[in-house]
Chain A
């Protein structure tokens, strides 16, 4: 049934039929069929493809990773000829950030723009969907239904306006006009048949040549500007020169380049901690992987853009200085943490040395070097020293030393296979007591290797006898490995092993392995456990930040495990290494065959060599603390400068405020 004409008192302008932004409204009409068809064309042929293009681009941005090219094929939104609209399902909308491998602040900036884009697109799709429903209602009107028609047309006008505003936001950005020497808000033309917004951050997978193959290129990207001779390009000055989708894409591309497997780039943040650092270009970039980035450099363009977008241009300067002070405070917190960590290292070293000395107290007896001293020598003299790791166990925050092997040994040419396992020892006296013990046993107190005294950290026992119900898992952490005299391998290992199925925990054990095949059999590969923790799977066992712990246990010694030893999640989880010189195990005298644990091999000369090692390492740590003192002096100067800036800034504000008040008064 043809629709009756509308009351001519209320003629309706026909919707825009060309570009929703630049097109001019057509003449008013009272022909309801004409108006309906015009709206149908508008929503079907313009807004729907624009929505699809925007969704497709969003899908492409979020699915592109450092190693894949992503896809633009996802088209979750469609309006067919009957105007039935299919909205993207709830799960189709991206909600996650860039992952643990990206700094928390970088993720925050990305999520800010992502949420903005998703929110706008959800509303946009909702408007188009509602318009489809309204058009169907309009088609279903019978005979004279002027009043209803007016209501529905008002709705369509409203949806048109809302869609237009949304599309406008997606095309909005700033452009510099050299003629007028001003920045202008500009809106790109929207082409519904190709791509929704002219991309400034271009797709490197389809554009030749690839425009932003490196971070340097991305940072120096050029955008369109207007000068007296016509449209040209210039290096980007402000993040607001990019459209909404391009801002999101810029951040994604930035981290794609950083995380790219084939050519990863340093992710520079200050302070040098992905949890607390701000994306920046430090004056001095740490490339060693062990040394902290000490200088507070310039914040990255996209991060400043994020601050301005979030807080408004009015607050740009305040936000900027607030971030700077926050970054310096975070850095101070890290430095204090490092000092505290080094204090813990000193405490553990001292305990090792203390026990070594105690073992030599009775000279008339045969003596051996205690295992605790060996552990201290391995982990604290030779191993990589890191900052403390904070874990929330239950509702309580605990701090742990993170112990691991050197990733590669060069003194004996033996490469170490990393397992992704890290030993965590509580950074307090209970952790110290559990890890190194409080006393040594005399020779006649040493237990038989029957496993009866396995709970004493200084007692080793044969883990194969009666105590091994499970199978040896994969993933050794070779704390140290040495080929001794070219025949045998003496190892200290961290391993989740000798546990019954369903049990978790870790053993620290020594393994003496005969390289000579003639020494096979029971004596080969025989592990001797120095300490262990065991947790049984069940509701009382919790997994937190990759660490299995027991809520009612002291959790003095824990094991953190990573599937991929070189994965980005390991890097983001690990506290930064503290630069302290090492005392290599190989430089310390041992018994005749390099072992420390046989009771007749600890000569005075050997013990003296160990003592020197502990003393030297203590001095190295002290040197590192002195180095921090130097950094403090540099930081004090920076803070003096900031203090001055703050005063100037506040004085300016105060003066301005007074001027305004005087005018009002």
Chain B
């Protein structure tokens, strides 16, 4: 077996898999970002929805205690009228986070030409 083939395969395989995962995450990220800016969001801020989200978070990401606690603090707030919430309910500053991620700093064809035929 040629060493070139042997060594290029794992790298290429990892790159391909990472690209696929990145594509999936890109779609996910857009979903979450759009949740902040579409017209549904006001209605989402209900105590039932927040409790549901807390339960979800505890299941999928139990280490996120800080986020769970922060959401728990919002539950009673969600039951208050908007005028009580005041500026805390403002969404005018909601920002989509971060620049577009460039997955590959530069793309090159993987190659590993170990010159086996000239090994001493």
Residues of chain A at the chain B interface (Cβ within 8 Å): 174, 176, 181-183, 185, 237-241, 281, 283, 297-301, 304-305, 308, 310-326, 328-330, 332-333, 335-337, 339-340, 342-343, 346-347, 350, 353-354, 357-358, 360, 388, 390, 397, 399, 427, 604, 607-608, 611, 615, 618, 621-622, 625-626, 628-629, 632, 635-636, 639, 641-646, 648-650, 652-654, 656-657, 659-660
Contact = CB atoms under 8 A, between A and B. Distances in A.
Interface of B: 3, 6-7, 10-11, 13-15, 17-19, 21-22, 24-26, 28-29, 31-33, 35-36, 39-46, 49-50, 52-53, 56-57, 60-61, 63-67, 69-74, 76-77, 84-86, 88-98, 101-106, 108, 110-115, 118-120
Taking each of A238, A301, A321, which has the highest tally of chain B beta carbons within 10 Å of its own beta carbon? A321
A315 to B, nearest CB: 4
Nearest to A328: B25
B19 to A, nearest CB: 8
A312 B89 contact: yes
A322 B104 contact: no
A350 B112 contact: yes
A313 B66 contact: no
A330 B118 contact: no
Contacts of B36: 311, 315, 318-319, 322
Contact of B43 (A328, A337, A354, A660): A660
Contact of A652 (B29, B49, B77, B104): B49
Nearest to A112: B93
Contacts of A347: 111-113
A399 B107 CA distance: 11
A315 B98 CA distance: 16
Contact of B104 (A176, A340, A649): A340
A320 B18 CA distance: 22
Contacts of B56: 645, 648-649
B29 A316 contact: no
Contact of B7 (A390, A618, A629): A618
Taking each of B32, B50, B90, B98, which has the highest tally of chain A beta carbons within 10 Å of its own beta carbon? B32
A353 B114 contact: yes
A625 B64 contact: no
Contacts of A283: 63
A340 B120 contact: no
Contacts of B91: 311-312, 314-315
B72 to A, nearest CB: 7
A279 B37 CA distance: 25
Contacts of B115: 350, 353-354, 357
Nearest to A314: B45
Nearest to A389: B105
Contacts of B120: 357, 360, 604, 607-608, 611
B79 to A, nearest CB: 8
A174 B85 CA distance: 11
A316 B49 CA distance: 12
Given A299-B64, A353-B115, 20 more contacts: A298-B67, A300-B66, A311-B95, A312-B90, A318-B35, A320-B67, A322-B36, A325-B25, A325-B28, A326-B101, A333-B22, A336-B15, A336-B19, A347-B112, A350-B115, A358-B118, A626-B10, A632-B14, A652-B44, A653-B43
Query: Which are the 9 A-B pairs with shortest beta-carbon distances?
Result: A322-B32, A318-B35, A325-B29, A237-B69, A182-B76, A238-B73, A311-B94, A357-B118, A312-B91
Contacts of B69: 237-238
21 contacts: A185-B84, A238-B69, A299-B67, A310-B94, A314-B89, A314-B91, A319-B36, A329-B29, A333-B103, A339-B14, A358-B118, A608-B120, A611-B120, A615-B114, A635-B21, A639-B25, A642-B28, A643-B24, A650-B31, A656-B49, A657-B40
A650 B35 contact: yes
A339 B112 contact: no
Nearest to A184: B76
